[in-house]
Amino acid sequence: MCSVSSTTEVEKANQEYKTKAYKLNESTLILEFNKTLLSEEEQKSLLNTTLLRVAESQTLNFVQEEDLIIDSATLISLGITAKYNTLKKGNYPLIITDTTIKVILKLWEL
């Protein structure tokens, strides 16, 4: 799950992706995972469980255990202002659909 493509890269390549990232607004990005391409181990890493064990009514969060500084090249490729370069430790909402798992990540100024 360390490899992430931007939406533009995926569209140009016209291929399936495991993970892509795109800007939601000035300081928020979304990581989108293709459910069908995630291994059981990757599911556990992302969800702390597997998709088979997630109940429909269950609310899940992605847990960021430490603050993370995002490099400026990544921010530029996503169209996010460089000052919003910090993903703070904490819980971030997950949205699970039929085909994807989306993590909504709020970025902060350092």
Residue pLDDT, tens place only, 3-43: 455 555 545 555 678 999 999 999 999 999 999 999 999 99
CA distance 110 to 100: 30
Structural domains of the chain, count: 1
Distance of CA 9 to the CA centre of its chain: 16
- Determine the residue type at 85: N
Quote the CA–CA distance of 64 and 71 in Å, as a whole number: 17
Where in the sequence is the domain holding 71, given as residue range(s)?
5-109
pLDDT, tens only, 51-84:
989 887 788 899 999 999 999 999 999 999 999 9
To the question of pTM greater than 0.95 for the whole model, the response is no
Alpha-carbon gap, residue 105 to 24, rounded angstroms: 9
Q: Which two tokens stand for residue 86?
A: 């910090």
